Amino acid sequence: MIQLSSEPIDPGHLLNGFCAGRATTGAVVSFTGLVRDEGGQAQALELEAYEGFTEMAIIGMAVAAKARFDLIDLMIVHRIGRVEVGQPIVFVATAAAHRRAALEACDHVMDYLKSRAPLWKKSFGPDGARWIEPTAADLADAKRWDQETNP
Amino acid sequence: MAKLLLFGRLAEVAGWREREVVLPASLLMLRSQLTLEDPALGEALAGAGVLAAVDQVLTRGDAPLLGVVEVAFLPPLSGG
């Protein structure tokens, strides 16, 4: 399931739902990203998506990741709209027969989301608002997966 | 009529994010028209990493707009 949500994310609830009713899955890995305060410089983030286009881009990546890591299932829930410090901004869960694939796939999906997903993010702080672009570290993280031939 | 969409800081520069427009024949002509109307937006559109999506497909360079129903200009992606 791929979802852009303008409502708060409940990671525990999503994870329980994702784990339920599985027989062939041996490993579920989840990642929850929270909005950080950046040493007092950020109070909230606001995320903007291009309806339809953003979902299609994420789904395209998810289909490729599912095949690449031989996943049984994959869930991505990303917040859009305003998200306050301390609140979940993204939830990713991967299910595979064995742990290595589930761990690596989760890492891979997050690297994609942080650097290549069509989302626009604005940070609100005490000094006003500014648009955020991927950091050099985010881009380098994403590039790791282009170079590795064997996941 | 077609839909013209701006995202992120492009919408902020222009002061609007969605508009019904009659599209010109090509993407480059659309950029020129927008630049003529609003030089600040034109400058932002010419910035590094700004992408165009024609009917939700990323398009580099020029493209014909005949029959197109939606054009979007996307600033550099922020990631999630």
Q: Which residue of B has its CA nearest to A89?
A: B80
User: How many whole angstroms separate alpha carbon A68 and alpha carbon A8?
Assistant: 30
For B77, which of A52, A78, A116 is closest by C-beta distance?
A: A116
Q: Is A60 an 8 Å CB contact of chain B?
A: no
Question: B60 is in which domain, residue-wise?
Answer: 14-64
Interchain proximity B5–A78, CB inside 8 Å: no
Would you say residue B77 lies in a domain? no
Would you say residue B6 lies in a domain? no
All structural domains of chain A, each given as residue ranges with its CATH number in brackets, are: 2-147 (3.90.1170.40)
Q: Is A36 an 8 Å CB contact of chain B?
A: no
CA atoms within 13 A on the CB side of A24: 5
Would you say residue B38 lies in a domain? yes
Tokens 């761990």 belong to A103
Tokens 């993010």 belong to A121
Residues A20 and A94: beta-carbon distance below 8 Å: no
Q: ipTM of this model?
A: 0.89
Would you say residue B71 lies in a domain? no
Helix axes A53-68, A99-115, angle to 10 degrees: 150
Q: Is A113 an 8 Å CB contact of chain B?
A: yes
Would you say residue B74 lies in a domain? no
Which chain A residues touch B54 with a CB distance below 8 Å? Answer: none
CA distances from A105 to A14, A53, A74, A75 (A): 18, 23, 9, 11
Residues 6+ apart with CB under 8 A from A99: A26, A27, A29
Interchain proximity B79–A53, CB inside 8 Å: no
How does DSSP assign A22-82, residue by residue? -SS--EEEEEEEE---GGGT-SEEEEEE-TTHHHHHHHHHHHHHHHHTT-SEEEEEEE-EE
Which chain A residues touch B75 with a CB distance below 8 Å? Answer: 120, 131
Number of A to B CB contacts under 8 A, please give it: 61
Number of domains in chain B: 1
Q: What is the largest CA-CA distance in chain A?
A: 52
Written as tens digits, the pLDDT of chain A (151 aa) is 999 999 999 999 999 999 999 999 999 999 999 999 988 888 999 999 999 999 999 999 999 999 999 999 999 999 999 999 999 999 999 999 999 999 999 999 999 998 889 999 999 999 899 888 777 777 778 788 776 654 4
Tell me phi and psi for residue A20, to 5 degrees: -70, 140
